[in-house]
Amino acid sequence: MDKLRAVLGGRDGNNDNRNILQAANEASTLGWGTRVKGFVGCLVVGVVFSILGVGCLFIPKIGILLFVVFYTLGNVCSLASTMFLMGPVKQLKRMCDKTRAFATVVMITCLVLTLCAVFWWKIFALTLLFVILQVLAFAWYGLSYIPFARDAVLKFFSMLCNMCMK
């Protein structure tokens, strides 16, 4: 009876320290093969959307609109693909780590602002600026997963600036 009371009360005698996120993560675990298939599928869709967006640039009048929509969807799909590899909860935790929290915020903000600039504000120059910032933010975010990659990029550009100043 005590065991039943503990289970109904939300306390499983063996795992009192589990929180809701851990329970949800355990309930939605996928096998490694399924994770890889989901990753590859999402990544392929993201790349196809991005390429399709670039191809739409040459359509008169609505080309920029289609480019922004497809390119942004491509980035979202590419980002979602990584959630298949490590799981959504772990991915979200890693996105909020102190080393990449700023890059995550900038990247998501650029994604949203790009769509706002093309649909609501309808300012071409601003849309183009946000697309460029989106590319840079996504690259900076991606570099955060490679040890010392950001430091190497910063050192390269500082050397480049020093050479240009001379």
Tokens standing for residue 43: 């990544």
State pLDDT tens for residues 44-58: 999 999 999 999 988
Nearest of 73, 89, 74, 81 to residue 37 by alpha carbon: 81
Whether residues 25 and 51 share a domain: the answer is no
86 and 10 both lie in a single domain: no
Same domain for 90 and 37, yes or no, is yes
pLDDT in tens for each of the 166 residues of the chain?
Answer: 555 455 445 555 555 456 766 665 565 677 888 888 999 999 999 999 999 999 998 898 899 899 999 999 999 999 999 888 888 888 899 999 998 899 999 999 999 999 999 899 988 899 999 999 999 999 999 898 888 999 999 999 999 999 998 7
Same domain for 107 and 158, yes or no, is yes
Q: pLDDT by residue (tens digit) across 79-99?
A: 999 888 888 888 899 999 998
How far from 149 is each of 75, 121, 145, CA to CA, in Å? 21, 36, 8
Distance from C-alpha of 151 to C-alpha of 91, rounded to nearest angstrom: 23
Domain count, the chain: 2
Domain span holding position 70: 31-165
Shared domain check, 77 and 15: no
